[in-house]
Amino acid sequence: MKKMPINAGDFSNTMAKPLVGARLLERFASSPYNFRYAYRNAEIHDVNDEVCAKIDILLLGSEWAMAVEVAYHIASAPNGKMDVVDRHVRRMEQIRKRPLAQIVGKKLLGAIAGGIIEADMCKKAHEAGFFAIGIRRFSTLAPPPEGFVPKEW
């Protein structure tokens, strides 16, 4: 048997997705969004039918949809690199340009979720209009600032 290298970051992100997804519907149950379904790894295709973006977790309700980007540790990126929030803003723009059939006609929201969300990234997520969801014993919403209104994409 050949030993295969494992990227610890990829492994952690892989483990974070089911931990977040398991509780997201419960977390938003008392919200006005009425999410009823959760899907993992939804793909957005470009005009050439190539995958141009992936949605880690997609929540769907009758009027609303939410694209959730999941990473184990959400922190500022090194100089010159895009961080999780910047990449999710770009992804949300791609989703709006080429929406999945399931979200056509729905109001689209965004969120970032992680095991560890650094305070500056939580603030940046809220400024971008995203919910910030931390993983502890249960999926919990990082408290948004006073007057926070999520952005509809």
Q: What is the pLDDT at residue 18? A: 63
Q: H-type helices in the chain, by residue range?
A: 8-27, 84-97, 119-127
Is residue 139 over pLDDT 60?
A: no
Give the C-alpha separation, 85 to 71, whole Å: 11
Structural domain including 22 reads: 8-141
For residue range 5-55, list pLDDT tens digits in order. 444 444 445 556 666 666 788 888 888 898 988 888 888 887 788 888 889
Q: What is the pLDDT at residue 9? A: 46
For residue range 68-124, list pLDDT tens digits in order. 998 878 888 888 788 899 999 999 998 888 888 888 899 999 999 887 888 889 899
Give the tokens for residue 82.
């895009």
Give the C-alpha separation, 56 to 34, whole Å: 19
Q: What is the pLDDT at residue 5? A: 40
* Matching residue, tokens 């999941």: 70
Q: What is the pLDDT at residue 28? A: 83
Residues 6 or more apart in contact with residue 28 via CB below 8 angstroms: 35, 59, 66
The answer as to whether 152 is a domain residue is no
Is residue 151 over pLDDT 70?
A: yes
Q: What is the pLDDT at residue 141? A: 63
| CATH value at residue 57 | 3.40.1350.10
Return the C-alpha torsion angle 113, 72, 75, 37, nearest 10: -20
Total domain count, the chain: 1
Q: What is the pLDDT at residue 98? A: 84
The answer as to whether 28 is a domain residue is yes
The answer as to whether 150 is a domain residue is no
The answer as to whether 102 is a domain residue is yes
For the chain, the C-alpha Rg in angstroms (whole number) is: 15
The answer as to whether 111 is a domain residue is yes
The answer as to whether 153 is a domain residue is no
Q: What is the pLDDT at residue 15? A: 58
The answer as to whether 3 is a domain residue is no
Report which of 139, 125, 124 is spatially closest to residue 17, judged by C-alpha positions: 139
